[in-house]
Amino acid sequence: MNLENMSIKEIWEKAEQVLQADKQPYKHLKAIYELHLDGDVYQLHFDNGELNYYEEAVADAQCTLQMSEKNFKKFLAGDLNSAMAFMTGQLKVEGNISLALSLEKILKKYTFFS
């Protein structure tokens, strides 16, 4: 199944498997990210090599990213220039912007979908 046809739930399940298989890129990260995708809210909690995923807001996020589901899929596939998306309003970031950059840097080390 290709990324475009996957549901967000299927994407999160696959991404979580990939991230859990190699914790090295985020072993020193301690942050809570919140993602708003077409009205739905998700959180990723990184805690020095541990990762928890939630399908709702369960804690205060340090960095919030808002984008469309379509752009999120491009982001994970490495097909979205986040700086350009931010400047054109396709990606909105609230909170600690350096954490947003750290997340992008970490995610680029993984291949989620081939």
pLDDT by residue (tens digit) across 20-44?
999 999 999 999 999 999 999 999 9
- The full set of domain ranges for the chain reads 3-107
Backbone angles phi and psi of 42, in degrees to 5: -135, 155
pLDDT for res 1: 60
88-99 mean pLDDT: 95
Cα-based angle 92, 62, 38 (whole degrees, multiple of 5): 35
Instruction: Tell me the fold of 3-107.
Output: Nonspecific Lipid-transfer Protein; Chain A (3.30.1050)
